[in-house]
Every structure is written in C-alpha cells, then in structure tokens.
Structure 1
C-alpha cells in the first residue's frame, strides 16, 4: 500500500514573509501572503491590518510610529515590481508616492525625513517631506543582502553602508535628524547640545572584517556600530567617531548565518540571533564585563595563547523552540521538511522597557522575539530576575497570562494542552560549559499573532 505524504500539526501556523521592528521597538510590521499588519510590540496588540489582493510584499518598513510605511513587492507573487519602493500612508490606506529603480531593491533604512535604498552595488538616499527628493548616492561592493543602517535619534547623522572593498564599512554623515514634533502645547525652548566631536573630524571608513559583511547595526545615537561577517562567529563593536574596536564578541565556533543585531536602548548590551535559532545576549560597556570567558584566560599574561581564549561569550541565551511536531506518513523513510511550512526558528528580536511592580525601581529591559511561524516571546534577562528576587514587591501579583507556552529547546505543546509559564531548569547553571552554554533567559510570556488575529 502506498501512502502519500501528509503533515499533521496541532496548530495551523501563519506563514510570514517578513517581520521587522521600528527603530524604537515600539511597533513591528509583518507581511504575509494575505497582506500586511502593524502590531504594538508590547503589550502585544494588533493596530491595523491590510488585506491586499493581487500579490505579496517582500517587506514592510515602518518609519518610527508614524503612519508612513515603505513597501517593496516580492514573495511568491509580487504585488509591486521588485524594483519599486512604494510610500504608503496607512492613515488613508493608499499609496502616496513611488520610487522606481533600474534594478531590484535589496534593502531599506529610514528615519524622520530620510530614506536610504540599497541596491546591488550602490545606495541611494532621498529626503522625504511634502515631496520626495533624491539627495545623493554612493557606490558599494557587491551587496546582495542590501545591508545598511541609519541612526534614528534626534540630531543623529550617521548612515553606515558597505564599503567599496569586501568587509569594509563606509560611514556617511547626513544632515542632522530633527526631533519628533511634541504633542500638546509647545515646550519652552532649550539650547541644542553640541557634539564635542564634529562629523568633520570623524572617520569615514572602517575595515571591519576580511570576509563579506552580513549585518550592520547602529543605535539611535549613532555612537556605536555592530558588524558581522559571513563566517558568523564574531560580532565586532566599533566607535564610529574614532574607528576603534571596542569589543569583539564570540557568538560561537561553528559557522552560522547571523540574521541581525539589536542594541539595548541604553547601549549597554546587544542581542544577536542566527539561523541556529538561538538568541545571544552580550554586555557591551563596562570594564568588568559580565560576558563569559574561558577559564584559561587567566593564563594569557604568562604563556602564549591563541586569540580564541580571549574571546567573550554571551552571558545569556535563549533557544527558540521548533515548530509543533509534524507527523509524516510516507512510503519512504525521508523526513525532509515540506517547503510550504514556515521556518519557526527564523526570528527577529527587539528590546522593550517593562515597568516593575515596585515603583521605586526603574523599568526592566526585556526581549521580544518574533518568529516567522507567528510566535511572540517576551524574555526576561537573568540579572533582572535576580534583582527581582532580591527586592520583592510588597504587592504580589500572579504570573504573566500566557497560553500554549513552549519551553526553551523543546517543542510547543498542542493547542488543546493547558498552558504554563516556562522557567529554567534547576540544574541548567551546573551544565554551563566554557564558551558553549550560558544562563537561559526566562520566558515571561508567549502568544500567537497573525492567523490567530483573524487572518484568513
């Protein structure tokens, strides 16, 4: 008897084409075969969804929390030609302008009043006001990923793009970014703070890696730059004014495709995520870093040693659970994953500020991880948990209301199973190995978005 292959899943996941946060991690956008949607990052809430007929979008880029979105066609059946950027005003639900190029658009970065479009070998910058005006363009090396980054803070100027040589980063200073228009009565005028190091004295090129760049990330201030290469083992943090290497962080020893880096808003930590489905958290500032190092690093001042033993490893990590178990009935022994199933391990991560129960303590920074299978994870860092335990709030409150919460490194339970909040196992810290295992971030809340919000 011949049995055709079938997949049986406890849930019917949404298939995301793309997901990305705005510059301040307040909202995120997703594109699906049905259209696109805008969500509040935390607490998770659907702001608006647009069902589009006739095609799909490759990505939807939000411009802060304004109603302006930048759309690029792509996916199985592109709604717009892939060589166009559509300016979409979500307040009126229609296109307001379009930019057409002679080749496919690879990437986009934006801030208030500015738009940078990455093509295969050049980056074109536009000013966005009542009219969209071409500002300038720069040549780059072969850049199929379309990587670029722009500082989005008030009075920030930095635009980071791939250099003309492989592994180099070109630093460009645009006119300062204006602050957002305040709501309500205008505040009293305050003198503008001048940067003691002007853009003219800053460097314009950083030789970051010897192999192809895979990600470029800058915080809103533009003071720092994080780079990764195709090897996927090291993350380098640079001072954009001096070009000095501040820190070299090791993601792992095996080659991986690093999908992205995100700076904590106060620029003291970063998180990184890759195709391995693991989110790593590193400390960036401070002479006594909390990052882990090899136990042999104490001997490095006395004997010659490989550079590997000086490596700084993530002090915390979280493994994104794989998709719900799928059962395949087939006449062959092949266990290949069907092509139409979403990649649950693929994710994008951002930082949010969560208030504490104790009003005397400052808000706590946590991570939000979005998977391409429609999973929303809110993760607490180990240090914050220790502080929470040391200073318990006088008014105790029940744990977070989560449903169908998967444990880190395990598979989610079916929807019919009662939900529970995941906590790190007691023996996890004993199992830590030098450069291999870190303290596991704690899953505070897990929710679904996409099809569970009414998508067809």
Structure 2
C-alpha cells in the first residue's frame, strides 16, 4: 500500500507477505521487516528512501523500488536483493515509475501506469508484457499459488471496455482467461485467496464486495460493507478461505464469512502457495537456490496490447440477472479502530477519516491483525462461533522513522475502539549478463558483508513501541537480538509450523 504524501511520519509503503506472516514497510530512510506472530522487528536497512517493498513469503528475497530521494533510489528502478547476504541480485530499469510489484514462487509482476511486465522468478526472464489502460493506483492482484497462478487487473478505460471490468490473466500459460463485469464503477481493490481459487473485488464506491470463482469467473458471494461510499484500503482472505477481512477509510474493519458450499477453500494447515507461516528468513536453503536462479539472462519479450486481449479471452462473464437480485450479506464480525487520540496520536491527520490500513487474518489463531499508516498495530480476537464485535487483545506502536517513539498504552479491550533496461548482476549474485531489448547495463552494486544476527525476530511484546534495535545509520543494516518468545532464555524461535518446501529447481 502506497502512503506517500499522505504520511504523517516517514512511512511511504506497507505490505504483508503472501501468507501474512511478515509485515514489510518502506520509509524515507530505508525499509524494515517484522514478524507478525509474535510481532517484532527482524530486519532493517537505512540506505535510502524505499517507495515499494515486496517479500517472497519468508525467504530472504525482497524486491525494492526507490522513493526518488537519491539517484540510486529511483522510482524507475527495481532492485532484487538478498537480505541475508546483504547483496543485490539484479536490477531492472523501466521507462516510467514502477507503481506496484507482485511476487509468487513462479512469477514476478511489475506494474507501470500503462504496462505490466511478467518475469520467470527462476531466471528473471521477461516472459510477457501487457499494455493496459491507465492504472495510476496500480490496482492489481497476483495469486500466491504457484499452481493456480493468475493475475487480475482492471480493464476500465481501454478500447471496448467498461468501468468495473476485471481481466483475469493466466500467468503460466500467458493468456487472458476471462473479462469479468464485476462492478458498475471502476475497480478499486482486488485480492486472491491463498490457493488462487477465489478473487475478491471492490469498486471505488466501496459499498459492495464481490467474490468470484477462479478461473471460471462465476460470482459466488456478494457482501454489503455499508450504505455510504468508502475508500477500500485492503482485503485479505483467511488461509482456509472461510473469512474475508476488509478495511476502509471508516474506523470499522468488516469480516465476512464464506459458506463452504460456495467456495473452494484451501487447507488451513498449508495451501499450495503457503509457507506454513514461518518466520522471516527461515529457510537458508531457499536463499542459495534463489541467488543461483536469478543469475541468468533476462531475454524473451512479447507484448499483448489491451485492444487485442478481448479476442483471446475464453469467455466474457456478464452479471447474472438473477444473482443481481441477491440481497448482499452483511458482515459476520467487525472490529472498531480506536480513535487517533485514544491510540496516543495528537498530530493533525492529512486524511479526514481513518488512516490507511492493512488487514490480515491469522491461519492459526482466530485473530485479526490491523496495521495503520500511523504506526499502530492492533490485534483482535474473532469469535468464530458467534461473530459480532471483535475484542482488542493488543496494541503495539511501531516507529516509522529513525527516532524511537514513545511507549503507547493499549486502549481498553473491547473499547471504542517501453521495455525494461538491463538488469545487472551484483558481486554477491551468480555471474551472468542480463541482455534485454534496447537495454543498457546499470553496472554492479557492491555486496555488503552478511550479518549473522539479521534474521532474528523480537519476541512477544507488550502493548508498547517498537523503535530501532540499534545502529541503523546511513547505509547500515539493523541487526536484532535473538527472540525466544516472551522468554529470552527459551530455545524456541517464534516460528509457526515449518511445513513448506521452498523453491526446488
């Protein structure tokens, strides 16, 4: 989620990884990564402003886009890095600013305002490009699953397209599958479930949330968020596809329940695209494989103009006249965000309602996690039997700048709550040139020495603040001490079930 000029602090970007086990933020100084359960910082760098950061599950691979504060951190440049070795694997430069990056185990997607580039993650080969209608808000979603690997993005504004349409693109076979007439107004938010069989969408009106089957495009659910328009900030499925959480510019987080008969829920213990919700950097074997796989040529370019997509689409999914008569279901549960004053904030907000927020639903516990652009992390308990108002369990203040924030008391529980240019192999990556159509070399980026303590999470924290763990000056990596849950003497790292098999090439 891009925050940019709306930020009241140094925060520029925030996102969860694909299984919601980690939170990554980009700031005017650098970026940080946090484990979510228990919540704590596990890695950070202060090289320069980062406008976009995307993780690949819990591996050490991160994709970074600069915020433009320095020449080396251009918003037109994508850098793929290994945080464990503190080395740059490759770099790609584009003709205009990168607006969004999406990752799964097989594909990397880079979105510009009118172009989408698809890469093979195993070798960073350019597989396909798509010309799109202007999409300045970078509305798009990539399925986390390597098996049901689909890309969804709005088609509004293109030749022959109407507002509210979604194009479903098969990122493996590299062909359009469906155009779904999802809404009557432009699409504002999209989210896939864990196994890529469901797609949630919301329009810029924000009153109705719809869920479609993938790849058929059949509408399965229609939920009523509210009667008044709202800006949808984020949507997230629980990993078993039983719940969908939605945040907006109101102070209410809505949770909708999906009936089993209408969906194809994945196994909560580990969907085909999941990682068992392990902690950041939990698989060193994957990192070595990733470095090797990225060190090959980025060649092979094909393009599909938007106007020609329609001829390749297998079916055009029109709104079902009967289904439009459904009475949209109301939320099953909801959570109320504390007011900024109650959360300990006394500054003026650039937004008139609730701050931008991200939501996640735990795959293990019945918990809702909400992260706001003010630097607040709220954890709620969701009653899976009765629903209703969620109970606030924990409030953590996260420092979004270099200065440590003051401790924040927790509110009372239940209270008010063109083609890309040449990538370059860095000295820490596998050797090899990266020729590309019309591309030029960017030169090498020096690999920095790995830090032995850069992948340990801070343990379970009381409702206080999280500042820097030390050091963190310019061009420095922020190491963290070992976390052993709530007890530093414990020998167990705060990781969930390690049931995932990372990258086997």
Task: Work out whether residues 277 and 346 of structure 1, in 8 Å CA contact, stay in contact via their aligned partners in 2.
Answer: no
Secondary structure class of the residue paired with 1:29:
strand
Residues 34-83 of structure 1 show CA distances to partners (whole Å, capped at 9, x for unaligned) of 2111111111121111112xx41112111111111111122766852111
Which residue pairs with 1:19 in the alignment? 14
User: Which of 156, 159, 167 is residue 164 of structure 2 equivalent to?
Assistant: 167
CA distance in 1, matches of 2:461, 2:358: 16
CA distance in 2, matches of 1:446, 1:14: 23
Task: Work out whether residues 68 and 89 of structure 1, in 8 Å CA contact, stay in contact via their aligned partners in 2.
Answer: yes
**Distance apart, 1:266 and its partner CA:** 0.6
The number of aligned residues is 347
User: Which of 145, 148, 154 is residue 153 of structure 1 equivalent to?
Assistant: 145
Residues 352-390 of structure 1 show CA distances to partners (whole Å, capped at 9, x for unaligned) of 234xxxxxxxxx33111111222111111123588xxxx
**Distance apart, 1:415 and its partner CA:** 6.7
CA distance in 2, matches of 1:203, 1:77: 41
The answer to whether 1:376 aligns with 2:377 is: yes
CA distance in 2, matches of 1:25, 1:240: 21
CA distance in 2, matches of 1:110, 1:416: 35
Which residue pairs with 1:431 in the alignment? none
Q: What pairs up with 1:312-331 in 2 under 5 angstroms?
A: 312-324=329-341
User: Which of 233, 253, 260 is residue 259 of structure 1 equivalent to?
Assistant: 233
**Distance apart, 1:311 and its partner CA:** 2.5
Task: Work out whether residues 404 and 415 of structure 1, in 8 Å CA contact, stay in contact via their aligned partners in 2.
Answer: no
Q: What pairs up with 1:71-82 in 2 under 5 angstroms?
A: 71-74=64-67, 80-82=73-75
Question: Per the alignment, do residues 57 and 242 of structure 1 end up closer, same or farther by CA in structure 2, a change over 3 Å counting?
Answer: same
Q: Which deviates the most, 153-162 or 254-263? A: 153-162
Question: Per the alignment, do residues 231 and 342 of structure 1 end up closer, same or farther by CA in structure 2, a change over 3 Å counting?
Answer: closer
CA distance in 2, matches of 1:401, 1:282: 20
Q: What pairs up with 1:407-418 in 2 under 5 angstroms?
A: none
Task: Work out whether residues 381 and 392 of structure 2, in 8 Å CA contact, stay in contact via their aligned partners in 1.
Answer: no
Secondary structure class of the residue paired with 1:310:
coil
Q: What pairs up with 1:245-324 in 2 under 5 angstroms?
A: 245-286=219-260, 310-324=327-341
Secondary structure class of the residue paired with 2:244:
strand
Q: What pairs up with 1:43-122 in 2 under 5 angstroms?
A: 43-52=38-47, 55-74=48-67, 80-122=73-115
CA distance in 2, matches of 1:373, 1:231: 24
CA distance in 1, matches of 2:86, 2:352: 28
Task: Work out whether residues 88 and 97 of structure 1, in 8 Å CA contact, stay in contact via their aligned partners in 2.
Answer: yes
Q: CA RMSD in A?
A: 3.7
Secondary structure class of the residue paired with 2:414:
coil
Greater Rg over alpha carbons, structure? 1
Task: Work out whether residues 14 and 450 of structure 1, in 8 Å CA contact, stay in contact via their aligned partners in 2.
Answer: no
Question: Per the alignment, do residues 419 and 368 of structure 1 end up closer, same or farther by CA in structure 2, a change over 3 Å counting?
Answer: closer
Question: Per the alignment, do residues 142 and 258 of structure 1 end up closer, same or farther by CA in structure 2, a change over 3 Å counting?
Answer: same
CA distance in 2, matches of 1:50, 1:118: 25
TM-score (norm 2): 0.61
Residues 120-171 of structure 1 show CA distances to partners (whole Å, capped at 9, x for unaligned) of 1221101122x42100012222211112111122422222122343321111
Task: Work out whether residues 277 and 319 of structure 1, in 8 Å CA contact, stay in contact via their aligned partners in 2.
Answer: yes
Question: Per the alignment, do residues 107 and 404 of structure 1 end up closer, same or farther by CA in structure 2, a change over 3 Å counting?
Answer: closer
Question: Per the alignment, do residues 401 and 226 of structure 1 end up closer, same or farther by CA in structure 2, a change over 3 Å counting?
Answer: closer
CA distance in 2, matches of 1:417, 1:124: 43
**Distance apart, 1:453 and its partner CA:** 4.9
**Distance apart, 1:402 and its partner CA:** 4.9
CA distance in 1, matches of 2:178, 2:64: 30
